[in-house]
């Protein structure tokens, strides 16, 4: 028999004999699980939602260091010039972006796992 199946409780590995003897190569792995694979992406969505908030905050530092025009450099210059309405506007825009990123992460939770209700 050129292949055999070794199965545990949830994983089946298909081996194929290569050249005889003790040499085997993995032909494929099948995962049998009652949990859909999409549920495994929920921690990834959580981390990406949190990292996106840090990305908006880090724009001020990066745009200031490299002198790139953008909302981060505008916020830095507004702070230096004591232009408080501009600082509040930038803070409002960045806050809205973070809230929308968290809302997108929550909606993705419901798409990935139907047991979660939004």
Predicted pLDDT of residue 36: 64
Q: What value does the mean pLDDT of the chain take?
A: 77
Q: Give the pLDDT of the chain (118 residues) as one tens digit per residue.
A: 444 444 444 555 555 555 555 555 555 555 555 556 677 778 888 888 888 888 888 888 999 999 999 999 999 999 999 999 999 999 999 999 999 988 998 888 888 887 877 6
Extents of the domains making up the chain? 3-34, 38-112
Instruction: Give the distance between the most distant pair of CA atoms in the chain.
Output: 79
Three-class HEC string of 62-93: HHHHHCCCCHHHHHHHHHHCCCHHHHHHHHHH
pTM for the complete prediction?
0.63
């Amino acid at each position: 028999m050129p292949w055999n199946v070794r199965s545990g409780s949830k994983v089946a590995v298909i081996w194929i004999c290569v050249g005889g003897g003790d040499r085997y190569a993995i032909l494929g792995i099948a995962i049998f699980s009652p949990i859909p694979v999409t549920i495994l992406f929920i921690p990834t969505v959580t981390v990406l939602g949190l990292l996106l908030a840090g990305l908006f905050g880090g724009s001020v530092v990066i745009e200031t260091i490299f002198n790139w025009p953008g909302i981060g450099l505008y916020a830095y210059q507004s702070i230096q010039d004591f232009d408080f309405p501009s600082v509040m506007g930038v803070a409002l825009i960045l806050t809205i972006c973070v809230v929308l990123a968290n809302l997108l992460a929550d909606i993705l939770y419901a798409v990935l796992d139907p047991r979660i209700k939004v």
